[in-house]
Amino acid sequence: MSAEFPHTVHVAVHTPMHSAVGEPLSYACAQALEPGTLVRVPLGARELLGVVWDAPSSPEPQTFELRPIAGVLEGIAPMNPAWRRLVRFAARYYQRSLGEIAVTALPPQLRDMTAAQLARRLQPPKTVKKTRSSTAALAQACAPAQPPLALSTEQAQVFARIQAEPGPFLLYGSTGSGKTEVYLQAVEQTLAADPQAQALVMVPEINLTPQLEQRFRQRFVPLYGEAAVVSMHSGMTQPQRLKSWLAAHAGRARIVLGTRMAVFASLPGLALIVVDEEHDASYKQQEGARYSARDLAIWRARDAGAKIILGSATPSLESWHASRPPDSTDPQGGRYLRLLMPSRIGAATLPQVRVVHMGQQPRKTVFSAALIAALTERVQRGEQSLVLLNRRGFAPVLFCSDCGYKSDCPHCSAHQVFHKADRTLRCHHCGFTQRVPRTCPGCGNPDILPLGKGTEQLEEELARLLRNVQRPDREPARVARIDADTTRAKGSLEQQLAQVHSGDVDVLVGTQMVAKGHDFRRITLVAAVDPDNALFSSDYRAPERLFCLLMQAAGRAGRDALYVQARSSRPEMWIQTHDPDHPVYAALREHDYPAFAAQQLGERRDAGMPPFAYQALVRADARSQESAQGFLRAAQEAARAAGLPHLDQVFLYPPIPLSIQRVANVERAQMLIESASRPALQHFLRAWQAHLHWLRSQPEHKSLVRWLIDVDPLAI
Ligand code: ADP
Ligand code: ZN
């Protein structure tokens, strides 16, 4: 140990090379540093951001000279123990290195900033700015505060339970039942009770943040000032993200609104977490550390002694099961408290569900005559409709009936989708794009045909079918489309949604992007034209996902009771299907989530599937399917040969190819690991990791591109 650097510090850094190690690295330092301090450290020729970690309980003997740290990020208070516990837990649970979780949980800009740049950023705002912000504050103070609404009876009952009980709460409330108002008042009450308190409010998708942000700003900026409400999501610029993060870390921000990444925000005063639309799949990160922000939020709330509210009209089966009330066979009940808000605000009714049996329609019907008639009526009355199809592009494939050619992607086991607007064939998996061929590349036939329908085609077809229909103002009907293709440019989604809200659009065609969350006021009809596709999936969660999507979509219709009453039209949800008796549609007809959940949970219990069992996937990507599966088989053998702990409680399924087996010329395989015991699965995976790292380094697995573990996978 050198005299100049007498102290040893342990630093969590993120480097793929050390992911096998996973534990903090040791450095020398001139002064002792508090755990949680942000530092820059040398690694090889590079300099990286790191977090000083607690000393290991049994330090390894030091056999070589330690390198000194490169510097401390002055001016940022150390990350507190609660944040470090969260990071430690997430790393262990999701089988990642501590450094990866710790560093990716910090704003990306901190990684690249020099100490000098950071110091500039942390400087107090210049005086000019100060005056401006204080005038803004003054203006805000004069702005009429948005008062809390008088709660409905159901809202008031739920709110009282939230105040009285510890939770965690599952707020099961219909679409339009006023869940957001409950969140707002719970946040308000929490912040008023303690001047240090902070609230974290999570939403599944960036495109839902603007509306929510507006509602929270209107309510809280007049109370706590402009700086009190900040957002965190990937649609923000790096400097904006850093600014929000610093405000939360310093306790200045009282409310943090964000997507899944916000679960890792530094919140020293965390007192309340809200997870809106808790069932939504986007809470699960699908690359790198595959964490579930909802599940981490539950853990974090318990660890921090904060309250947590999960809200949904269609809860995940996991949360539904975890909130089961006690009964004679199950006197304990679940760990969560279930709260109900079945009614919509203002006596708005849920839409009537109309199922059209497509088997009884003329062949190749896209829109049944009855649906077109219903759409026509709505346009003529000046009401809006939403047509939902979860498939963008014009047609999913181009096809030659002479030689059988299909527009397959050369790099993936998938078709290239035909996009008519820009005459391209595009692969939605790898992005490979080509001009549409004039003639069949197989046989030269000039007649290659689009097969199947996407949103582009629906938009075109609807515009044609409704071309002679007039709105009350005698203008022709306007059809518009919102999907990932129309909203690539920044701000374009907001702009297109604003057009819908303003009444410019009569019929909106869209993917799931518009089916969720939005508070449309004038939509009275929603139609799912071809939902059956989703049921052909081999994934056991497919029915749950479809049911959710359709319930959410139905929830966009008839949200404004007064609007609906004034027109004496009943809101409707239309389903066109070849399988009208499927349990998903049967439950949907009755808006009966509890019945659907009971049926699905019964099946899951009988089959020993989540939430009655715990799962993980190990995936391998390689140049050939054979080597991908070979790696997985070797991993199984290694686990057995080494006699890993809990092998008797863990079931290893044989490796299989993924349903889309090849993407961008990489072959993908996976195997499922299942156990009735979560701790057993966790211990087993932890012990197994070292073997997987070791196997990866062996010459016979040279062609492996990557492997990964997905704990609690959402898609199988
Ligand atoms: P959810 O989040 O359950 O779908 P929202 O919170 O968006 O429902 O509420 C639906 C609509 O009802 C919103 O326009 C909201 O402003 C309004 N609303 C909610 N609670 C009340 C209330 N207590 N009184 C009047 N209007 C309310
Ligand atoms: Zn491709």
- Across the range 366-382, mean pLDDT stands at 95
Closest protein CA for atom 10 of ligand 1:
176
Max CA distance (Å), the chain: 88
Distance CA 405, CA 660 (A): 20
Please write the tens of the pLDDT for every residue from 242-261.
999 999 999 999 999 999 99
User: Ligand 1 centroid vs 57 CA: distance in angstroms?
Assistant: 52
Alpha carbon of residue 307 to chain centroid: 21
Task: Return the CATH superfamily for domain 352-392+454-606.
Answer: P-loop containing nucleotide triphosphate hydrolases (3.40.50.300)
Mean pLDDT value across residues 575-580: 95
What is the Cα–Cα distance from 6 to 4, expressed in whole angstroms? 6
**Phi-psi bin for 647: left (phi > 0), alpha (psi -120 to 50), beta?**
alpha
pLDDT of residue 319: 97
Residue 130 pLDDT? 41
Minimum mean pLDDT range among 205-219, 273-287, 645-659:
205-219
Q: Where in the chain is the domain with CATH 3.40.50.300?
A: 136-341, 352-392+454-606
Is pLDDT of 1 > 90? Answer: no
Indicate if ligand 1 lies below 6 Å from the C-beta of 185: no
What secondary structure, in 3-state letters, does 275-314 show?
EECCCCHHHECCCCCCCEHHHHHHHHHHHHCCEEEEEECC
Q: Which is more confident, 128 or 599?
A: 599
Gyration radius of the chain over CA positions: 28
CATH topology of domain 614-711: Alpha-Beta Plaits (3.30.70)
Distance 194 CA to ligand 1 centre (A): 26
User: What is the DSSP secondary structure assignment for residue 579, as one 8-state letter?
Assistant: -
Model confidence at 203: pLDDT above 70: yes
How much distance in Å is there from the Cα of 425 to the middle of ligand 2?
A: 10
Residue 55 above 90 pLDDT?
Answer: no
Domain with CATH 3.30.70.600 in the chain: 614-711
User: Could you report the per-residue pLDDT of 170-200, keeping only the tens digit for each?
Assistant: 999 988 889 999 999 999 999 999 999 999 9
Q: Which ligand is nearest to the CA of 148?
A: 1
Would you call the peptide bond into 168 cis, given omega within 30 degrees of 0 as the criterion?
yes
Task: Tell me which residue has tokens 């089916």.
Answer: 515
CA angle 532, 536, 538 (to 5 degrees): 145
Q: What is the mean pLDDT of residues 80-109?
A: 94
Q: Is the pLDDT of residue 505 over 70?
A: yes
The correct answer on CATH 3.40.50.720 for the domain covering 7-121 is no
CATH architecture designation of domain 136-341:
3-Layer(aba) Sandwich (3.40)
The fraction of the chain above a pLDDT of 70, given in percent, is: 95
Rounded alpha-carbon distances, angstroms, from residue 531 to 293, 319, 398: 28, 25, 21
Q: Which ligand is nearest to the CA of 341?
A: 1
Q: Could you tell me the CA-to-CA distances from 251 to 82, 230, 299 in Å, in that order? A: 14, 11, 21
- Cα 537 to the chain's mean position, in Å? 20
pLDDT of res. 364: 85
Residue 328: partners with Cβ closer than 8 Å, 6 or more residues away: none
Ligand 1 atom closest to the CA of 517, numbered from 1: 4
> What mean pLDDT do residues 645-660 have?
94
d(CA 403, CA 676): 51
Verify whether ligand 1 is closer than 6 Å to residue 343 (CB atom). Answer: no
pLDDT beyond 50 at 680:
yes
As a 3-state breakdown, the chain gives helix, strand, coil percent values, each rounded to 5, of 40, 20, 40
Distance (Å, whole) CA 309 – CA 168: 6
Centroid of chain to Cα 17:
29
pLDDT at 211 over 50: yes
Check residue 84 and give its pLDDT: 97
The DSSP bridge partners found for residue 418 are 395, 425
Residue 151 Cα: closest atom of ligand 1: 23
Encoded tokens for 47:
């300099």
Answer yes or no: are the C-beta atoms of 13 and 41 closer than 8 Å: yes
Query: 452 near 364, Cβ under 8 Å?
Result: no
- Is residue 143 lining ligand 1, measured as CB closer than 6 Å? no
Listing from the earlier edge strand, what are the strands of the sheet with 433-435? 417-419, 424-426, 433-435
Indicate whether 349 pLDDT > 60.
Answer: yes
Distances from the Cα of 498 to the Cα of 87, 180, 503, 546, angstroms:
39, 20, 9, 27
Q: Assign residue 58 a region: left if phi > 0, alpha if psi is -120 to 50, beta otherwise?
A: beta
Q: In whole angstroms, what is the distance from residue 508 CA to residue 482 CA?
A: 7
Instruction: Name the β-bridge partners of 353.
Output: 573
Region(s) of the chain under CATH 3.40.1440.60: 7-121
Mutual angle of helices 179-193 and 153-164, in 10-degree steps:
40
Q: How far is the CA of 513 from the centre of ligand 2 (A)?
A: 23
For residue 407, how far is its CA from the centre of ligand 2 (angstroms)? 11
Omega within 30 of 0 (cis) for the link into 611: yes
Q: Is 561 in the pocket of ligand 1 (CB under 6 A)?
A: no
Select the more confidently predicted residue: 357 or 569: 357
User: How many angstroms does the Cα of residue 496 sit away from the middle of ligand 2?
Assistant: 29
Question: Who contacts 703 (Cβ-Cβ below 8 Å, separation ≥6)?
Answer: 622, 623, 624, 627
Ligand with an atom nearest the CA of residue 430 = 2
Q: Does residue 155 have its Cβ closer than 6 Å to ligand 1?
A: yes
Per the model's pLDDT, the better-predicted residue between 160 and 207 turns out to be 160
- Residue 417, pLDDT score: 95
Q: What is the mean pLDDT of the chain?
A: 90
| 31 pLDDT above the threshold of 60 | yes
Other Cβ atoms closer than 10 A to 264 = 23
359 close to 545: Cβ distance less than 8 angstroms: no
Alpha helices per DSSP H over 392-511: 455-465, 492-502
The DSSP-derived string for 175-225 is TTS-HHHHHHHHHHHHHHH-TT-EEEEE-S-GGGHHHHHHHHHHHHHHHH-
* Mean pLDDT of all residues in 343-356: 84
Q: Report d(CA 527, CA 389) in Å as an integer.
A: 9
Q: Is the pLDDT of residue 93 over 50?
A: yes
Question: Ligand 1: which of 345, 556, 559 to mutate, most ligand atoms within 8 Å of CB?
Answer: 345
Strands (DSSP E) found in 472-631 = 479-482, 507-510, 523-528, 572-577, 614-622
pLDDT in tens, 608-623: 999 999 999 999 999 9
- Ligand 1 pocket residue status of 517, Cβ below 6 Å: no
Residue located nearest, by CA, to atom 18 of ligand 1: 178
